[in-house]
Amino acid sequence: MAQTHASEGQGHSIRLYLVTWVWLFILSACSYLVDYLHLQGHLRWSLILLFMMLKAGLIVAIFMHMAWEHLALVYAILVPPLVVFVFVGIMAYESDYTLITRQIAFAMGH
């Protein structure tokens, strides 16, 4: 069974990996340029996140072979990390509160 799996799932050409590699280089260069060109504000953050997600997607889909796995495995691995965004939301809300209490406390000289 391992044999059939190997011949079915791993028959990609080396060219596919090289193309992915080149794209990862281009995307990394782009994200470095965001800093080098001193882009600021929403443009900076949206570009950073865009290049980050594209790079992560390429690595998971092609280098880690997620694109060729069964949906049962794909969803078991990719859905749980989405819950992390809830955590991010909770902590962002909490940080805002901490910041406000600190500002008030420091302004009042305590």
Partner 1 sequence: MEQTVVREKGELQAQLQARPGGWRGFVADWSSDQRAFKEVPWGKAMMWIFLLSDTFVFSCFLISYMTVRMSTVVPWPNPSEVFALTIGGAEVPLILIAIMTFVLISSSGTMAMAVNFAYRRDRVRSARLMLATAALGATFVGMQAFEWTKLIHEGVRPWGNPWGAAQFGSSFFMITGFHGTHVTFGVIFLLITARKVLRGDYDHGARGFFTSRRGNYESVEIMGLYWHFVDLVWVFIFALFYLW
Positions touching partner 1 (CB under 8 A) are 1-2, 5-6, 10, 12, 14, 17-18, 20-21, 24-25, 28, 31-32, 34-36, 45, 48-49, 51-52, 55-56, 59-60, 62-65, 69-73, 75-77, 80-81, 84, 87-88, 91-92, 94-96, 98-99, 102-103, 106
- Tell me the C-alpha distance between 78 and 12, whole Å: 23
DSSP category for residue 79: S
**Closest approach of Cβ 77 to partner 1, in Å?**
5
φ, ψ at 28 (rounded to 5°): -65, -40
Nearer to partner 1, 5 or 109 (CB): 5
- Tell me the C-alpha distance between 23 and 9, whole Å: 22
